[in-house]
Amino acid sequence: MTVASDWPVLITRPAGKADQLLASLDEMQLPYLYQPLITTQMVPLSGKAPSLLQQADGIIFVSVSAVSCLQQQVDCRELTAPLYAVGSTTGSLLQKCAGREVLFPQDQRSEGLLALPALQDVAGKHLVVVRGNAGRELIKRGLLERGAKVSYLQSYKRVPLPLDGQSLLDQWRQQQIQCIVVTSNEILQLLFQLISAEGHSWLWSRQWIMVSPRMRDAALELGIPEQCIFLSANANDQALLDSICQLRGSRHV
Protein backbone atom coordinates (compact mmCIF):
# COMPACT_ATOMS: atom_id res chain seq x y z
CA MET A 1 0.00 0.00 0.00
CA THR A 2 1.43 3.37 -0.99
CA VAL A 3 -1.45 5.80 -0.59
CA ALA A 4 -0.11 9.36 -0.89
CA SER A 5 -2.54 10.93 1.58
CA ASP A 6 -3.84 10.68 5.14
CA TRP A 7 -0.49 10.94 6.94
CA PRO A 8 1.46 8.01 5.38
CA VAL A 9 4.24 6.37 7.38
CA LEU A 10 7.59 5.02 6.19
CA ILE A 11 8.51 1.63 7.70
CA THR A 12 12.22 0.76 7.54
CA ARG A 13 12.44 -2.55 9.43
CA PRO A 14 14.52 -5.24 7.69
CA ALA A 15 12.77 -7.70 5.40
CA GLY A 16 11.04 -10.46 7.36
CA LYS A 17 10.89 -8.40 10.56
CA ALA A 18 7.94 -6.19 9.68
CA ASP A 19 5.35 -8.70 8.46
CA GLN A 20 2.99 -8.43 11.44
CA LEU A 21 3.22 -4.63 11.55
CA LEU A 22 2.50 -4.31 7.82
CA ALA A 23 -0.40 -6.76 8.07
CA SER A 24 -1.89 -4.72 10.90
CA LEU A 25 -1.52 -1.47 8.95
CA ASP A 26 -3.24 -3.11 5.98
CA GLU A 27 -6.05 -4.41 8.18
CA MET A 28 -6.60 -0.94 9.66
CA GLN A 29 -6.29 0.62 6.20
CA LEU A 30 -3.54 2.97 7.39
CA PRO A 31 -1.30 4.29 4.59
CA TYR A 32 2.37 3.35 4.62
CA LEU A 33 5.39 2.75 2.45
CA TYR A 34 7.71 -0.14 3.26
CA GLN A 35 11.39 0.31 2.45
CA PRO A 36 13.93 -1.92 4.23
CA LEU A 37 17.47 -0.52 4.17
CA ILE A 38 19.42 -3.57 5.32
CA THR A 39 19.28 -7.33 4.98
CA THR A 40 20.87 -10.13 6.99
CA GLN A 41 23.20 -12.93 5.89
CA MET A 42 24.35 -15.96 7.83
CA VAL A 43 28.00 -15.95 8.91
CA PRO A 44 29.86 -19.26 9.39
CA LEU A 45 30.58 -19.77 13.07
CA SER A 46 34.15 -19.42 14.29
CA GLY A 47 36.10 -22.51 15.35
CA LYS A 48 35.74 -21.56 19.01
CA ALA A 49 31.95 -21.36 18.82
CA PRO A 50 31.15 -24.93 20.01
CA SER A 51 33.28 -24.63 23.14
CA LEU A 52 31.92 -21.14 23.88
CA LEU A 53 28.36 -22.43 23.74
CA GLN A 54 29.10 -25.58 25.73
CA GLN A 55 30.95 -23.75 28.51
CA ALA A 56 28.60 -20.76 28.79
CA ASP A 57 26.68 -20.07 31.97
CA GLY A 58 24.05 -18.29 29.91
CA ILE A 59 23.41 -17.52 26.23
CA ILE A 60 21.75 -14.29 25.10
CA PHE A 61 20.16 -13.90 21.67
CA VAL A 62 19.66 -10.33 20.48
CA SER A 63 17.39 -10.91 17.47
CA VAL A 64 15.41 -13.39 15.38
CA SER A 65 18.33 -13.45 12.92
CA ALA A 66 20.72 -14.40 15.73
CA VAL A 67 18.55 -17.44 16.48
CA SER A 68 17.77 -18.53 12.93
CA CYS A 69 21.35 -18.18 11.69
CA LEU A 70 22.73 -20.11 14.67
CA GLN A 71 20.08 -22.80 14.33
CA GLN A 72 21.20 -23.38 10.74
CA GLN A 73 24.62 -24.36 12.08
CA VAL A 74 23.99 -25.69 15.59
CA ASP A 75 21.13 -27.75 17.02
CA CYS A 76 19.76 -25.38 19.67
CA ARG A 77 18.23 -28.37 21.48
CA GLU A 78 21.78 -29.33 22.47
CA LEU A 79 22.42 -26.03 24.27
CA THR A 80 22.44 -26.67 28.01
CA ALA A 81 22.96 -23.16 29.46
CA PRO A 82 20.06 -20.88 30.44
CA LEU A 83 18.71 -19.05 27.39
CA TYR A 84 17.77 -15.39 27.15
CA ALA A 85 16.30 -13.24 24.37
CA VAL A 86 15.93 -9.49 24.02
CA GLY A 87 12.32 -9.65 22.82
CA SER A 88 9.24 -11.84 22.70
CA THR A 89 9.49 -12.66 18.98
CA THR A 90 13.12 -13.74 19.38
CA GLY A 91 12.23 -15.61 22.56
CA SER A 92 9.34 -17.47 20.94
CA LEU A 93 11.49 -18.64 18.04
CA LEU A 94 14.27 -19.70 20.40
CA GLN A 95 11.83 -21.66 22.56
CA LYS A 96 10.64 -23.48 19.46
CA CYS A 97 14.19 -24.27 18.33
CA ALA A 98 15.51 -25.24 21.77
CA GLY A 99 12.39 -26.95 23.03
CA ARG A 100 12.61 -25.37 26.47
CA GLU A 101 12.09 -22.20 28.46
CA VAL A 102 13.63 -18.92 27.34
CA LEU A 103 13.65 -15.81 29.54
CA PHE A 104 12.89 -12.47 27.92
CA PRO A 105 11.72 -9.09 29.25
CA GLN A 106 8.51 -7.17 28.66
CA ASP A 107 10.68 -4.15 27.82
CA GLN A 108 12.14 -5.49 24.60
CA ARG A 109 15.34 -3.46 24.61
CA SER A 110 18.83 -3.95 25.98
CA GLU A 111 17.76 -2.09 29.12
CA GLY A 112 14.88 -4.51 29.62
CA LEU A 113 17.12 -7.54 29.26
CA LEU A 114 19.57 -6.17 31.80
CA ALA A 115 16.69 -5.69 34.25
CA LEU A 116 15.80 -9.41 34.28
CA PRO A 117 16.16 -10.79 37.83
CA ALA A 118 18.11 -13.79 36.53
CA LEU A 119 20.83 -11.49 35.17
CA GLN A 120 21.45 -9.50 38.35
CA ASP A 121 23.82 -11.85 40.20
CA VAL A 122 26.20 -12.84 37.41
CA ALA A 123 29.61 -12.16 38.99
CA GLY A 124 32.08 -14.78 37.80
CA LYS A 125 29.70 -16.22 35.22
CA HIS A 126 30.54 -16.51 31.51
CA LEU A 127 27.76 -15.20 29.27
CA VAL A 128 27.72 -15.49 25.49
CA VAL A 129 25.87 -12.91 23.38
CA VAL A 130 24.80 -14.21 19.95
CA ARG A 131 24.52 -11.23 17.63
CA GLY A 132 25.36 -9.78 14.21
CA ASN A 133 28.45 -7.87 13.16
CA ALA A 134 27.99 -5.10 15.73
CA GLY A 135 25.65 -3.66 18.31
CA ARG A 136 24.29 -4.43 21.78
CA GLU A 137 27.36 -3.01 23.50
CA LEU A 138 25.08 -1.83 26.31
CA ILE A 139 24.34 -5.45 27.20
CA LYS A 140 28.01 -6.34 27.39
CA ARG A 141 28.88 -3.22 29.34
CA GLY A 142 26.08 -3.78 31.84
CA LEU A 143 27.05 -7.41 32.45
CA LEU A 144 30.75 -6.60 32.79
CA GLU A 145 29.89 -4.02 35.45
CA ARG A 146 28.23 -6.84 37.39
CA GLY A 147 31.39 -8.93 37.27
CA ALA A 148 30.48 -11.30 34.45
CA LYS A 149 32.74 -12.43 31.64
CA VAL A 150 31.10 -11.71 28.28
CA SER A 151 31.91 -13.13 24.84
CA TYR A 152 30.32 -12.27 21.51
CA LEU A 153 29.37 -14.97 19.02
CA GLN A 154 28.51 -13.75 15.52
CA SER A 155 25.98 -15.84 13.60
CA TYR A 156 24.95 -13.28 10.98
CA LYS A 157 25.83 -9.93 9.52
CA ARG A 158 23.73 -6.96 8.49
CA VAL A 159 24.34 -5.75 4.96
CA PRO A 160 23.07 -2.42 3.56
CA LEU A 161 20.91 -2.89 0.48
CA PRO A 162 22.18 -1.24 -2.75
CA LEU A 163 19.83 1.75 -2.81
CA ASP A 164 19.82 5.12 -4.58
CA GLY A 165 19.27 7.78 -1.93
CA GLN A 166 18.03 10.44 -4.33
CA SER A 167 15.48 8.09 -5.89
CA LEU A 168 14.27 7.13 -2.42
CA LEU A 169 13.93 10.76 -1.37
CA ASP A 170 12.02 11.60 -4.55
CA GLN A 171 9.65 8.69 -3.90
CA TRP A 172 9.12 9.61 -0.24
CA ARG A 173 8.36 13.21 -1.15
CA GLN A 174 5.94 12.09 -3.86
CA GLN A 175 4.20 9.77 -1.40
CA GLN A 176 4.02 12.64 1.12
CA ILE A 177 5.61 10.61 3.89
CA GLN A 178 4.92 12.31 7.21
CA CYS A 179 6.47 9.91 9.73
CA ILE A 180 9.46 7.55 9.67
CA VAL A 181 9.70 4.44 11.86
CA VAL A 182 13.24 3.35 12.74
CA THR A 183 14.13 0.54 15.12
CA SER A 184 17.93 0.70 15.30
CA ASN A 185 20.70 3.27 15.37
CA GLU A 186 22.22 1.53 12.36
CA ILE A 187 19.12 2.18 10.23
CA LEU A 188 18.91 5.76 11.49
CA GLN A 189 22.53 6.47 10.55
CA LEU A 190 22.11 4.75 7.19
CA LEU A 191 19.14 6.96 6.33
CA PHE A 192 21.25 10.08 6.77
CA GLN A 193 24.09 8.51 4.78
CA LEU A 194 21.83 7.54 1.87
CA ILE A 195 20.19 10.95 1.64
CA SER A 196 22.48 13.78 0.53
CA ALA A 197 23.02 16.81 2.76
CA GLU A 198 20.55 18.77 0.61
CA GLY A 199 17.82 16.32 1.61
CA HIS A 200 18.50 16.40 5.33
CA SER A 201 16.15 19.33 5.84
CA TRP A 202 13.32 17.08 4.64
CA LEU A 203 14.35 14.38 7.11
CA TRP A 204 14.52 16.95 9.92
CA SER A 205 10.95 18.06 9.17
CA ARG A 206 9.40 14.57 9.50
CA GLN A 207 7.92 12.98 12.60
CA TRP A 208 9.98 10.01 13.87
CA ILE A 209 9.07 6.92 15.88
CA MET A 210 12.07 5.41 17.68
CA VAL A 211 12.50 2.71 20.29
CA SER A 212 14.99 3.89 22.92
CA PRO A 213 16.45 6.97 24.60
CA ARG A 214 19.79 6.06 23.03
CA MET A 215 18.24 6.33 19.58
CA ARG A 216 16.74 9.68 20.51
CA ASP A 217 20.18 10.94 21.56
CA ALA A 218 21.64 9.80 18.23
CA ALA A 219 18.78 11.48 16.36
CA LEU A 220 19.37 14.76 18.17
CA GLU A 221 23.02 14.63 17.15
CA LEU A 222 21.90 14.21 13.53
CA GLY A 223 19.83 17.39 13.80
CA ILE A 224 16.34 15.97 14.25
CA PRO A 225 14.35 18.35 16.52
CA GLU A 226 13.37 16.81 19.85
CA GLN A 227 9.71 17.70 19.31
CA CYS A 228 9.72 15.52 16.17
CA ILE A 229 10.81 12.38 18.09
CA PHE A 230 8.24 9.97 19.57
CA LEU A 231 9.52 7.04 21.65
CA SER A 232 7.68 3.73 21.30
CA ALA A 233 7.25 1.63 24.45
CA ASN A 234 9.51 -0.97 22.84
CA ALA A 235 10.48 -2.37 19.45
CA ASN A 236 7.84 -5.05 18.90
CA ASP A 237 5.23 -4.74 16.17
CA GLN A 238 2.29 -4.06 18.49
CA ALA A 239 4.13 -1.26 20.31
CA LEU A 240 5.11 0.32 17.00
CA LEU A 241 1.51 0.08 15.76
CA ASP A 242 0.27 1.68 18.97
CA SER A 243 2.80 4.49 18.52
CA ILE A 244 1.72 5.09 14.93
CA CYS A 245 -1.95 5.26 15.97
CA GLN A 246 -1.20 7.55 18.91
CA LEU A 247 0.88 9.90 16.81
CA ARG A 248 -1.72 9.94 14.04
CA GLY A 249 -4.35 10.83 16.64
CA SER A 250 -2.24 13.73 17.90
CA ARG A 251 -2.05 15.01 14.33
CA HIS A 252 -5.90 15.07 14.12
CA VAL A 253 -5.95 13.04 10.94
Domains in the chain: ranges and CATH? 9-37+163-250 (3.40.50.10090), 40-158 (3.40.50.10090)
CB 208 within 8 A of CB 229: yes
Do 230 and 208 contact (CB within 8 A), yes or no?
A: yes
Confidence of residue 181 (pLDDT cuts 50, 70, 90): very high
pLDDT of residue 3: 38
pLDDT surpassing 70 at residue 233: yes
Phi, psi of 65 (to 5 degrees): -65, -35
The C-alpha atoms of residue 200 and residue 197 are separated, in whole angstroms, by 5
**pLDDT on residue 234:** 81
Beta strands in the chain (DSSP E): 9-11, 32-34, 38-42, 58-61, 83-85, 126-131, 149-154, 156-160, 179-181, 207-210, 229-231
Q: Which region among 85-89, 97-101, 186-190, 195-199 has the lowest average model confidence (pLDDT)?
A: 85-89
- The helix/strand/coil state of 74 is coil
Three-class SS of residue 228?
helix
- Per-residue confidence band for 201, with pLDDT thresholds at 50, 70 and 90: very high
Is the pLDDT reported for residue 240 higher than 60? yes
If pLDDT is split at 50, 70 and 90, which confidence band does 251 have? low
**Residue range 45-49: average pLDDT?**
93
pTM here is 0.82
Question: What is the rounded average pLDDT of the residues 191-216?
Answer: 95
**At 1, is the pLDDT very low, low, confident or very high (cuts 50, 70, 90)?**
very low
CA atoms of 59 and 83, how far apart (whole Å): 5
In angstroms, the CA 171 to CA 179 distance is 14
* Residue 250 scores a pLDDT above 90: no
pLDDT at 135 over 90: no
Contact call for residues 12 and 181 (beta carbons, < 8 A): yes
